[in-house]
Each structure stands twice: as C-alpha cells, then as structure tokens.
Chains A and B, each alone.
Chain A
C-alpha cells in the first residue's frame, strides 16, 4: 500500500505492516502511521473511568482559600466562569471550552461511537463526530489547566492559606485518564476499528476495490 506523508507529501510504499506498528516519514520524520495494542474494550473502560472522574471533579469544590478566618471555595465550573462575572465572557467561554467541555466531548464521543462499533453497528453521525474529535484535539487542555491551577495556588500561598479539595485530585486523575485515552487512540487506530468492524458499509478501506465512478 502507498502512504503519503501528511506533512511533506512524500509517497511511501509499505508492503506489510506489523500490528501494532509505528511508521515515520523517511524525509521529515512525521509520524505517518501508528496503531497500538489497545482494544476497543480498553478504551471504553478508560473513557468510562474518565467520565466518573469528570463527574466527581465537577460535583465538589476544587480549592478553598482561607484569609483571616474567612473561607472561600470554588468548584471547577465556578473557576471556569470567574471571568464571566467581571464582563469577560469571551475569555470565560474559552476557559470553559478548553478545560471543561472539550474533555467531556472527548469522553462522550468515545462512549457513543465505540460500543456500537464493537457490536458491528455504526452510531448515527459517527464519522462527523470522529472528524470533529480529530480537529479539536489540540483544544482539550486538562493538563494545562492543572498546571495553571498550581501556578494560581503558589501565588496565593504567599498571602493566604490554600486548601486543595477533593475535586482537584479528581481533576488531576481525569487529566491522566485523558492522556491515556489520547495515547490509546491514535487516528489510524480509531479508523481501523471502524474499517474492521464486521459490517462494512460499502467499499470503505484501502483493501477494498476502487469505487466505481471515483
């Protein structure tokens, strides 16, 4: 089969690929192809745990601040929307989207698309969702939010007592689960699950004969 590099357009002929495999472009070193040993079940289990952690991360306070006996706590959603109260709706929306909604979208897409695939069915709008997932991946920023929280807490610790709460731990674990999820689902792997799922819908995939009229 021929694989063209997405980064430098060089064509590569590959005779047989091991599974799992990882192939880099000989000219520009971009990753051309990666599959791994994870099964759909692994990924579904990981996504389900991530969903549980997401719920906990949202259900309880994230951090609390104690100054002169007065305590103030905030939840994840509160922290994302803090700027909204001060009239910075666009920045608040950005924080909400990257730190809260994108991780949720990732988790829900996997939980919606993969179980039907395993049963040989296609969830409605599966392809559109997988495309959106691929396009929006750089905007999922759980790990950046976590480090941002550390920076904020270090700043505050100079003048006040900072009390990390249960949701901060849950969010930290969520961050790890999301990283594992991303690592377990390279683009090629996801689409191979689609292609190899028992019911083939028309001539999809490289091994299929060329479509008539194309």
Chain B
C-alpha cells in the first residue's frame, strides 16, 4: 500500500490559528503569511505538555470528588456536599433529568476525558496507534463535551451568591470546588495542547 500524501511529505503545514495551508520554509520558526501566527510541522512538546496536564488533572480528580465542594448552613442543619451528594439530593428532590445532567457533566465527562486522553497518549508513546479514525473521533468528542463540566462551577457560584440570608441559610464554598474547577480547566488545556496529527503519523510513515 502506498503511503498517503501528507502535508509533511509535501513540506506544507496548516496554520493552527487561521487554518491556511502554508509552505514551511524554515522548519523551526516560521510564521503564517495570512495571520502571522507561528507555525510548526507538529506542535512542539505536545505529547509531554498534554501528559503533564492529564496527570495533574487525574491527581486532582480525587480531591475534587472526595472533598466537600459546598457547606450549607440553615437553622436546623449543617451539611457538607460533595459533587456526588449534590447529584443524589437533586435526584431525591425528584429532578431526575437535572440530576442525570449534572452526573454526566461533573463526574462522567471528566473521567472519560482523563481515560481517553491517557489511553491516546499511551498508545502514541508506544508508537502503536491502531484505528486512528476511532481515536480521532473519541478525541473530538472529549474536546467538544469538555467545557460542559463547568456547569457545576457556575451553579455553585450562583448558589453561593444567592444563599446568603444571614441567620436563616448560608452556603459556603469548600476546597473540593477548587480541585473540581482545576480538573475542568486542566483537561480542557490538555485537549487543546494535544496535536491530533500525532495519531495519524504512524500510518503515514507507511
């Protein structure tokens, strides 16, 4: 089977910002003629940057889920909420669709992102990428749904602001919320720093 014709084999690269196809005269340091962004054959340090971000996010995923994210104080009770207990109380309240939504956005999506990115990085580092089309699809899905994990952060921000009725009910933020927000940001950065072409390079060497 003949190797596919790639940008690399033709000395062409795509600008990461404006997507213009440009000829790469000086491989190390060139700029896009259309938008002046720096262009590289492959994003420098993509694999190690993405790996570092994924590992950090994976470590923070634990406190994000174990530590309380909010503390609710009312006349009758004082209780800590984790991400999961928030989902459960929504379900108890009868808001099943919302409970499912938060469960997916806050618990499933970050975990899926970490597993998918980790698996992709592992396969590339072993130089053994099977079925790049499927992995590409997985990566794009992860990239697309990632931002929805911010849902809970926004909800908490609003709850904390509104429920400040002194002597009656107050809500306070707890450190888990910081860890959770960090997981969302780090996994988004990890997806953005990953150069998808690395998935296909083993195919193109033919």
Contacts and interface: CB of A to CB of B under 8 A. Distances in A.
Interface of A: 1-11, 27-30, 32-33, 62-63, 65, 67-68, 70, 72, 74, 78-83, 86, 88, 90-92, 94-95, 98-99, 127-128, 130-131, 134-135, 138-139, 141, 144-145, 147-156, 158-159, 187-188, 190-191, 194-195, 203-206, 210-211, 214
Interface of chain B: mostly helix, strand, loop or mixed: helix
Nearest to B102: A151
A144 to B, nearest CB: 5
B147 to A, nearest CB: 6
A150 B158 CA distance: 10
Contact of A82 (B4, B136, B160, B197): B160
Nearest to A131: B17
B133 interface: yes
17 contacts: A3-B21, A4-B14, A6-B196, A11-B6, A67-B165, A70-B165, A82-B158, A94-B153, A130-B17, A147-B151, A148-B150, A148-B157, A150-B98, A152-B158, A152-B162, A155-B155, A206-B21
Given A134-B17, A144-B147, A151 B98 contact: yes
Contacts of B18: 130-131, 134, 187-188, 190-191
Given A28-B132, A141-B147, A151-B151, A8 B157 contact: no
Contact of B181 (A7, A94, A135, A211): A94
B121 to A, nearest CB: 17
A144 B14 contact: no
Given A91-B181, A187-B18, A4 B36 contact: no
A90 B178 contact: yes
B201 A9 contact: yes
Interface residues of B, number: 72
Given A147-B151, A148-B150, A187-B18, A95 B12 contact: no
Given A28-B200, A68-B168, A138-B188, A152 B155 contact: yes
B39 to A, nearest CB: 11
Contacts of A127: 35-36
Contacts of B147: 138-139, 141, 144
Nearest to B8: A9
A114 to B, nearest CB: 16
Contacts of B153: 91, 94-95, 148
Nearest to B136: A28
Contact of A4 (B7, B95, B143): B7
Contact of A191 (B6, B35, B146): B35
B152 interface: yes
